[in-house]
A and B are shown apart, each in its own frame.
Chain A
Amino acid sequence: MSSTPIRHTALDALHRSLGATMTDFAGWDMPLRYGSERDEHNAVRERAGLFDLSHMGEITVSGPEAAALLNHALVGNLASVGVGRARYTMICQEDGGILDDLIVYRLDDTEFMVVANASNAQVVLDALVERSAGFDAEVRDDRDAYALIAVQGPRSPGILASLTDADLDGLKYYAGLPGTVAGVPALIARTGYTGEDGFELFVKPEHAVELWQALTKAGEGVGLVPCGLSCRDTLRLEAGMPLYGHELSTSLTPFDAGLGRVVKFDKEGDFVGREALTEAASRSLENPPRVLVGLVAEGRRVPRAGYAVVAEGRVIGEVTSGAPSPTLGRPIAMAYVDAAHAAPGTPGVGVDIRGSHEPYEVVALPFHKRRK
């Protein structure tokens, strides 16, 4: 185990003054919740929530061959991403196993920002540096260069619009542009992990407190509340979004996770994992392994990661994430189950909750879609 001391974000003192319950997340001391996580969840669904996501790992890739390097190192076609746009993608091992899922922002023709999960940031950085050999491009660790503040929920465009002259109407989902928010220079991105409209603001750490306070004030009248990682997890689960370490791992390929669409075989040049992923793609068509599905409880007991999914008295799968869903009012889960039991409505499926087989309904993901 690493003996690295726990890390604190630029907003640490502010979280404590707000009475946050803190938790160790991937080596960072992060807010778990400020009050009731259910209230925080509902605020994001109905109004707006404010998150400190400064633990996320930013890596800048720049140079004449930055796009070519990313096309070699990642499974997506980053060369086709327009300046000011973002792409959800993955980085895989040679054997096709997922190292991490990423959002990559194209800041310029020759500059990209890769955002990795906190738990994988070092692995991603190391892989990008290794894979950059022979490319005219620089890979830079920018984890300490940014604080990341997200404002999420249906009221977030109005809140942000009151603090910036940036063209938010022109800023589409999965786009990012440099601008100024509350006098602070920021990369304004229309991305998130909640299933709602929202923004992620990458700023210098020394500006984080000022920006947080300005957003808090701007959101006062419309019910914006500070939100911790606990509700972020239930929000992404309801939205059917995978979380590394739960739905994604090195023992799964993107095709196993139902996310084969992120792999672009038709791009120019070779990329790490191409051969294995070509096989994984045909295997997923001919002989699908387990399939990622949604489960909704008929009762009230909550499934947790690692619990067995059962049918006809035998194990047919495993829960990867589970929680009480504030929006549905019932426990929900994502689980990998044998293909024969994966169709929505498949009868007789249950979850083994500490020895008792509780009935669950198989449903299509996501559990929740945002209101348009």
Chain B
Amino acid sequence: MSNPQQLRYSKEHEWLSGAEDGVSTVGITEHAANALGDVVFVQLPEVGDTVTAGETCGELESTKSVSDLYSPVSGEVTEVNEDVVSDPALVNSAPFEGGWLFKVRVAEEPADLLSADEYTAFSAG
């Protein structure tokens, strides 16, 4: 699998897009989606919620387990992906595209986000 070069990554296996008008998109990586197996339920933060980098802001349920969703940045949620709420399988089929989770107006970014190459090495290890 290849991790898109234009994204940055957290060690909790979320990705973060570059900001457009200060707003970035968040999702989980293909590596994380594969490890979860078929995702059957997604609980996302609500529009207007404040999320904090490294803290839980939702959950993902798969056949075998439930996992916390961590925000890779701090800021205010501006949009959530309703398509993924009604069809959680999008997380598996298109984790970097149609399976995105929420958008956030970034207030603060942690210093330790990884590049695509760094994340590829991290998730292989």
Contacts and interface: CB of A to CB of B under 8 A. Distances in A.
B94 to A, nearest CB: 14
B61 interface: yes
Given A324-B40, A324-B41, A304 B92 contact: no
A38 B34 CA distance: 13
A323 B65 CA distance: 9
Contact of A230 (B40, B41, B63): B63
Nearest to A323: B63
A300 interface: yes
A324 B61 contact: yes
Among B64, B65, B92, the one with the most A-chain Cβ atoms within 10 Å of its Cβ is B64
B24 to A, nearest CB: 28
A361 interface: no
Contacts, number: 38
B66 A37 contact: no
A36 B89 CA distance: 10
A344 B82 CA distance: 34
B38 interface: yes
Contacts of B66: 302, 304, 354
Interface of B: 34, 37-38, 40-41, 43, 61, 63-66, 92
A21 B33 CA distance: 13
Interface in A312-336: 323-324, 331
Contacts of A45: none
A89 interface: no
Given A234-B63, A302-B61, A37 B41 contact: no
A72 interface: no
Interface residues of A, number: 16
Nearest to A302: B61
Q: Which 3 pairs across A and B sit closest by C-beta, in order of nearness?
A: A324-B40, A38-B38, A300-B41
A69 B75 CA distance: 70
8 contacts: A32-B64, A36-B92, A37-B63, A38-B38, A38-B63, A302-B61, A304-B66, A354-B66
Interface in A1-50: 21, 32-33, 36-38
Main secondary structure of the interface of A (DSSP, over half): mixed
Given A21-B37, A302-B61, A304-B66, 20 more contacts: A21-B34, A32-B64, A33-B37, A37-B37, A38-B63, A230-B37, A230-B63, A230-B64, A234-B63, A300-B40, A300-B41, A301-B61, A302-B40, A302-B41, A302-B66, A323-B63, A324-B38, A324-B41, A324-B63, A331-B40
Majority secondary structure, B binding face? mixed
Interface string A297-317: 000111010000000000000
A274 to B, nearest CB: 39
Contacts of A37: 37-38, 63-64
Nearest to B34: A21
Nearest to A234: B63
A300 B66 CA distance: 12
Contacts of B37: 21, 32-33, 36-37, 230
Contacts of A300: 40-41
Nearest to A40: B38
Contacts of A304: 65-66
Contacts of B92: 36
Contacts of A324: 38, 40-41, 61, 63
Interface in A211-256: 230, 234
Nearest to B65: A304
Interface string A172-201: 000000000000000000000000000000
Nearest to B63: A37
A32 B41 CA distance: 20
Interface string A343-361: 0000000000010000000
A234 B37 CA distance: 13
Nearest to A304: B66
Contacts of B63: 37-38, 230, 234, 323-324
A307 to B, nearest CB: 11
A38 B63 CA distance: 8
B13 to A, nearest CB: 16
